[in-house]
Amino acid sequence: MEQVRPLASDVEAAVRAAMEAVLPPEASAADPLIRRSEHADYQANVALSLAKRMKSNPRELAGTLRDQLTDVEWIEAVEVSGPGFLNITLSDTALLDRLTTRANDDRLGVPRSQAAETAVIDYSGPNVAKEMHVGHLRSTLIGDALARVLGFLGARVVRQNHVGDWGTQFGMLIQYLREHPEAAWRDRDVDSSGTAGAVSALDALYRTARSEFDADAAFKERAQRRVVALQTGDEETVAAWQEIVAESEKAFQRIYERLGVLLTQDDVMGESFYNPWLQEIVDELREKGVLEDSEGAKVVFFDDIRGPEDKPVPMLVQKSDGGFGYAATDLATIRHSIRTFDGTRLVYVVDARQSQHFDMVFQAARRAGWLADDVQAVHAANGTINGPDGRPFKTRAGGTVRLADLLDDALERAREVIAEKDPDLSPEELENVAHSASIGAVKYAELSTSRTRDYSFDVTRMVSFNGQTGVYLQYTHTRIASILRRAQEAGHGRGTFHRDLALLPAERELVLVLDEFSAVLVAVAQTLEPHQLANYLYTLAKAFTTFYESCPVLKADVPTDVRDNRLALCDLTRSTLARGLALLGIAALERM
Ligand code: ARG
């Protein structure tokens, strides 16, 4: 495997060397401020920021640096522009050489930058006896993309699905089911989308049980006794609970399979898994002086976490009735991730509304010594998905929107759009393509949004061949695949780079974008923001489209070396796009 430095890093190093040659030491340590530019391949803005500090003329300073840089063999031209920008253009040979190295490596020259890391990624976390709803989509897709990217960059990735499988609500539900044997939830057939069935029945029954609990004091008492029975391990009650959990997990798994995410049954590490350690967590917190008593409950206070009127907000670890809180379980997840998996970075991909919870949990875990300084704990927070009108997403009846229904909508729309674009597809092909396109569309819409921002779930916009969509990227991939197929048929092979060719502007642009791939992945690993990769792939697809419009590949009058070179560009674009899409969990298709 060959690790390839991005060209931008080489440019940065060259500017740094020029600075060291001509500037006093304190000034030469400044950031060269390299960026891509419309006027050249790269622009260095360091002269502007330095001149201010050194009280010198920025254009003059830029000129001095330029004189140094013109000696660099792989730099074609350096110009001073405007108030003191350095416009840097690389030689075509340098660009082509870099691509050759990337193209000859099955990792496309991407470094294993995370090889020292064990990332424990907690994502999805749906709740038992409830259907997965639109709210679980974000964590599921973002967490999955992070698992793929970090894994590709060499990290050991441990996936954790913290399913909500414990709590007083199960006492209520189990009691209700016992009192209503006619509620035949088990016999429900799974519907065509493979998602309704037993769990949607349970979801509805739970709601009925809840209203009975609120309205009928006698039922409330029986339900509370049932909670105790569950907690104390009453055999029959535990069996009923297990059946509900198993049925729910089957339903989650069906959704995961439909979405094509990596989560399996083995990744489920639900709340109940941590029960045996919760008392220990409380005891240890007490011994370490982290825990305080507050009106009978066991809590932790924090200097900097305060509510209205500057009152400190407590983190509830154990309720006054002895029950453990959500926080106790999450403290146990931290201890477990470190002791069992040797996690070096713990990532919780959870709704932004839980940020105070994680802030408290992380701080308490540091104070208790479970989280050492060399372990990073991150709440990779995600915003909310709104309806197409930008308002909170509700069904017409005002209920929460089932994830399965949204996926059905996307599938239906994809079928229409694709049948129109390619009427020759056989019915099976159409079904396959529509499935991949609809899932790709939903994933891309999710992953191209910064995870902290809210966005609107708009199926029509997502499943479109135009604009920044998954379908557009998949389609670009099929176009390149088709060029490469035709080249094979014509006996031209897959192309080769010719380092002496002069490149056209659209070719140069495509080369420069291709070269950014590894830097983008490294950035995603640092920020845990997959949208940087999603946006990059769109830039790449656009650069390819522009290239293909102005640079014919297979036309008869294209000279052989130019054709070879362009084919090699097509091939590398295809593999970069395919790899990038795969890292977002999106299928790269051969035809659509
Ligand atoms: N089940 C929780 C919910 O639906 C999400 C769990 C997130 N993970 C965690 N370790 N707290 O809100």
Bridge partners (DSSP) of residue 455 are 385
pLDDT at 128 over 50: yes
Domains in the chain, number: 3
- Residue 323 in any domain: the answer is no
- Residue 313 in any domain: the answer is no
- Residue 159 in any domain: the answer is no
CA-354 nearest atom, ligand 1: 12
Q: Are residues 492 and 577 in the same domain?
A: yes
**What's the 3-state SS for 297-349?**
EEEECCCCCECHHHCECCEEEECCCCCECHHHHHHHHHHHHHHHHCCCEEEEC
CB burial of 229-251 (b: ≥16 within 10 Å; e: otherwise) equals bbbeeeeebeebbeebbebbbeb
Query: What global pTM score does this model have?
Result: 0.95
- Mean pLDDT of all residues in 70-92: 95
Among 354, 359, 384, residue to substitute to test ligand 1 (most atoms within 8 Å of Cβ): 354
- Mean pLDDT of all residues in 327-337: 97
Q: What is the CATH number of the domain that holds 46?
A: 3.30.1360.70
**What's the 3-state SS for 424-477?**
CCCHHHHHHHHHHHHHHHHHHHHHCCCCCCCEECCHHHHCCCCCCCHHHHHHHH
Q: Are residues 40 and 95 in the same domain?
A: no
Bridge partners (DSSP) of residue 392 are 386
Higher-confidence position of 402 and 489 = 489
Whether 127 is in the pocket of ligand 1, judged by its Cβ within 6 Å, is: yes
Under the phi-then-psi rule, with left for phi > 0, alpha for psi from -120 to 50, and beta for the rest, what region is 319? beta
Q: Are residues 563 and 444 in the same domain?
A: yes
Whether 436 is in the pocket of ligand 1, judged by its Cβ within 6 Å, is: no
Q: Are residues 63 and 100 in the same domain?
A: no
Q: Which of 240, 260, 280 is the last residue of a domain?
A: 260
Q: Are residues 81 and 172 in the same domain?
A: no
pLDDT (0 to 100) of residue 406: 92
pLDDT (0 to 100) of residue 192: 46
CA-326 nearest atom, ligand 1: 11
Q: Whose CA is nearest to atom 2 of ligand 1?
A: 125
- Residue 211 in any domain: the answer is yes
Q: Are residues 100 and 178 in the same domain?
A: no
Q: Are residues 81 and 213 in the same domain?
A: no
- Residue 516 in any domain: the answer is yes
How many other CB atoms sit within 10 Å of the CB of residue 86?
29
- Residue 303 in any domain: the answer is no
Q: Are residues 454 and 551 in the same domain?
A: yes
Q: Are residues 449 and 569 in the same domain?
A: yes
Three-state secondary structure call for residue 386: strand
Q: Are residues 95 and 75 in the same domain?
A: no
Enumerate residues 6+ apart whose C-beta is below 8 A from 46: 15, 19, 30, 31, 32, 33, 65, 86
Q: What is the CATH number of the domain that holds 430?
A: 1.10.730.10
pLDDT band at 194 (very low <50, low <70, confident <90, very high): very low
Q: Are residues 571 and 478 in the same domain?
A: yes
Could you tell me what percent of the chain has a pLDDT over 70? 98
pLDDT at 6 over 60: yes
Pick the range with the lowest mean pLDDT from 360-364, 400-404, 422-426, 562-566: 400-404
Q: Which of 260, 282, 309 is the last residue of a domain?
A: 260
pLDDT at 542 over 90: yes
Q: Are residues 449 and 490 in the same domain?
A: yes
Q: What is the mean pLDDT of the chain?
A: 94
- Residue 43 in any domain: the answer is yes
Q: Whose CA is nearest to atom 7 of ligand 1?
A: 125
Q: Which of 90, 117, 145 is the last residue of a domain?
A: 90
Domain span at 21: 7-90
